[in-house]
Structure 1
Amino acid sequence: MDVVSKRMIGIVSVTVLIFFALETFHLIDVYRADWWPLLLFIFGIMIHLLFFKRGANEEEAFLLLPGGIFVMMAGTFFLNVRDPLFIIASYLLAFAFGLFEWWVFGKQQELKVPMILFASYSLSLFIESAVSLIYLFFIAVVFLVFYIFRYRLLKNERADVQ
């Protein structure tokens, strides 16, 4: 190391130490507890950049699973949501998003079923956290009645054709 780089490391180290000392004794107040999701987001983006910079190999596509989870969860934590059902649904959606990226860039067809299951269960939890269960039951009954009438209509049309 030359003298200039040692001097820069020394100046940066002393500056950081002074900053933390002033923060410790509450002479300055720059502490913010809501910046940490940015670290998750940056880490997820770094994983994506690493994957695409190395040529987007199908064998390394599994790296997109944690990258997608970190990016999606950073968005959830930035929103600072307090509803536990919403947080659980966003965990499942983040996992489904990671599986989706792995499926798209890894071309593995066996990931399609768990991806769809996690995404649909996450969607149902999002709906449940937003809507009361009474309304959800009413919507389910309406769709069931619609499906039964549609099934009977199709059955009658098939009988008329034959």
Structure 2
Amino acid sequence: MSLLVLGLLFIFETAAGWNYAGSTWPVYLLAAAFGLFELWLFGGRERGLLIPICVLSAVGGFFFAEHFLSFRGSFWPLAAIIIGLYYVFRKTNLEKPEE
């Protein structure tokens, strides 16, 4: 199915003369996420596969939003710094397992 998504994208890009390639490049990330989601759905539902699915979907969606909502490069570095600081300073609950 991810090949179908990429095929439709290539048909669109060829018909449009590749004028929108700068706007539609996140579809490549979303197609990979969609293919991995299909593998998870029909494969065995391994939980570890959900991590790259979520990461690829979030990154692709973020860059689509950045392009179409005109953040234009000033928003995502600040968001990355805030997320990084959250992970550095968050409190983790590391308890000893009972023996």
TM-score, length basis structure 1: 0.38
Structure 1: unaligned runs, 5 residues or longer:
1-67, 142-162
When you count helix as a share of all residues, which structure comes out higher?
1
Give the deviation of 1:93 after TM superposition: 0.4
- Equivalent in the alignment of 1:76: 9
**In structure 2, the residue corresponding to 1:96 is in which secondary structure?**
helix
Q: Which runs of 4+ in 1 moved over 6 A?
A: none
Which AA in structure 2 matches 1:117?
V
**In structure 1, the residue corresponding to 2:25 is in which secondary structure?**
helix
Which of the numbers 114, 118, 128 marks the counterpart of 2:66? 128
Cα distance between partner residues in 1 of 2:41 and 2:20: 31
Cα distance between partner residues in 2 of 1:102 and 1:108: 9
* Relative contact order, higher structure (CA 8 A, sep 6+): 2
- Equivalent in the alignment of 2:26: 89
Does the 8 Å contact 1:96/1:116 carry over to 2? yes
Between Structure 1 and Structure 2, whose CA radius of gyration is higher?
1
- Count of paired positions: 72
Pairwise CA RMSD of aligned residues?
2.5
Does the 8 Å contact 1:92/1:122 carry over to 2? yes
Does the 8 Å contact 1:69/1:94 carry over to 2? yes
- Equivalent in the alignment of 1:111: 49
Cα distance between partner residues in 1 of 2:21 and 2:63: 10
Cα distance between partner residues in 1 of 2:40 and 2:53: 9
Give the deviation of 1:102 after TM superposition: 0.2
TM-score, length basis structure 2: 0.60
- Mapping of residues 1-162 of structure 1, within 5 Å: 68-80=1-13, 82-106=19-43, 107-133=45-71, 137=75
- Equivalent in the alignment of 1:53: none
Could you give the per-residue CA deviations for residues 10-64 of structure 1, whole angstroms, max 9, x where no partner exists?
xxxxxxxxxxxxxxxxxxxxxxxxxxxxxxxxxxxxxxxxxxxxxxxxxxxxxxx
Which AA in structure 2 matches 1:93?
L
Change in CA separation of 1:85 and 1:117 when aligned onto 2, cut-off 3 Å: farther
**In structure 2, the residue corresponding to 1:125 is in which secondary structure?**
helix
